[in-house]
Copies of this chain bind each other. A is one copy, B any other.
């Protein structure tokens, strides 16, 4: 069965029955940023495009709908075989985007453009939320590696793969999720659990066995009983096996800054200055920032649940709005929800704010267009970005962003300004809505 909201199908059925199949343009964008976000990282756009090209309404779908809604079979029959034959413009995966900037614009006969709304928003909203959270961890870590440990509390296995991918896009060094690592060609990372130490009984024996099996880069979990004892046991194994350049210890509880200082001192005293310290346990970008700001001797930050669920902002205020129908720009009068009408373009200028314009605008001098055609005639124009490409795109965006937008604490959101021509168009359409009994978008149905 097609994954969508029922209303997309009831509307589309009416559109088809009434011949309302003129071209419609919808804009997918985020209205406002959550608190503590100075910018967003577009993710899930390529998956959305993949979903856009994959759906089709089947006969089985239309029969099921007719039964569900108690209509005759002919109500939904006009939808059978419906699929996407239109055009899509999108920002590249990994692009830094701001409130009000379209990530995706779809133009197609109205029913085809309406039905995929829910599946597109679903792909883009949560993945953009996850990538936008992950990049804040990378910024907070100030160059030190961050790794993803979130699998166990992400919202399902699909979401866990997306979290690993969002982390990699943002610059994480590895993930603990082996399925995601294999699927996405990421580095897999992991150490041992407290239960391993408990089952073995003796820390020294547990660490010995681990080092024997995994001598390449063993990480010893040192806080099962007490950290000092754990670090000493690890140090003994590291020295006995000559692992000083390859080993690490992990701290997973307590005051991580204090524990890290203790571990660092004990390791240094043992002549093991190159042994790294990994910390984990409920970390998010604010905790990473605290540790980094306090000078805690941490070498690797393992972030999990709070990042993999984007806990402070698990969703975004995303919207998929009709911008044009039958050649006429459309907007809405509802309080606070007005959005500039028509197909749009976002222009990124070096050292200046983005500008939102009608799509056919030439743009300011020296600016680069963020939206590019990705689908035409129902076919993809270019393959999905690789993770390396998406990461490079993000790096460009970060280099462009003002410093205050990248701050982990109290960031000042970067903004997109609306160009004069688009402002005038918006005003004209709103004025038409206010005064006309039939608004400018009115089109006599078929």
Q: Give me the interface of A with B, judged by CB distance under 8 Å.
A: 1-11, 13-15, 17-18, 20, 24, 26, 61, 64-65, 68-71, 75, 110, 114, 117-119, 121-122, 125-126, 149, 151-160, 162, 176-179, 181-183, 187-196, 198-202, 205, 209-210, 213-214, 216, 223-226, 253-254, 305-306, 309-311, 314-316, 318, 321-322, 325, 330, 332-337, 433, 438-439, 441-445
Give 8 A-B pairs besides A68-B178, A114-B196 with Cβ atoms closer than 8 angstroms. Answer: A1-B183, A5-B190, A7-B191, A11-B193, A153-B315, A194-B322, A199-B330, A253-B335
Q: Please indicate the chain B residues that have their CB under 8 angstroms from the CB of A332 in the complex.
A: 194, 198, 224-225
Minimum-distance CB pairs A-B, first 8: A201-B442, A6-B190, A7-B190, A155-B155, A195-B322, A121-B152, A156-B158, A155-B159
Sample (28) of A-B pairs whose CB atoms are under 8 Å apart: A1-B179, A1-B183, A2-B178, A2-B179, A5-B151, A5-B152, A5-B177, A6-B189, A7-B176, A8-B190, A10-B190, A11-B192, A61-B178, A64-B182, A68-B178, A69-B188, A71-B213, A75-B213, A118-B151, A126-B154, A152-B318, A155-B156, A155-B309, A159-B159, A199-B325, A201-B442, A224-B332, A226-B333
Q: Please, which residue of chain B has its CB at the minimum distance from the CB of A64?
A: B182
Q: B321–A195 contact, CB under 8 A? A: yes
Q: B214–A10 contact, CB under 8 A? A: yes
Q: B17–A192 contact, CB under 8 A? A: no
A268 to chain B, nearest CB (A): 24
Determine the distance from Cα of A177 to Cα of B334 in the docked complex, in whole angstroms.
Answer: 26
Q: Please indicate the chain B residues that have their CB under 8 angstroms from the CB of A156 in the complex.
A: 122, 126, 155-156, 158-159, 162
Q: A179–B4 contact, CB under 8 A? A: yes
Among B122, B216, B309, B337, the residue within 8 A (CB) of A153 is B122
Q: A122–B160 contact, CB under 8 A? A: yes
Q: Please indicate the chain B residues that have their CB under 8 angstroms from the CB of A321 in the complex.
A: 195
Q: Please indicate the chain B residues that have their CB under 8 angstroms from the CB of A253 in the complex.
A: 334-337
Q: With A10-B192, A198-B332, A321-B195 in contact, do A3 and B151 touch (Cβ < 8 Å)?
A: yes
A273 to chain B, nearest CB (A): 24
Q: Please indicate the chain B residues that have their CB under 8 angstroms from the CB of A118 in the complex.
A: 151-152, 177
Q: Please, which residue of chain B has its CB at the minimum distance from the CB of A174?
A: B6
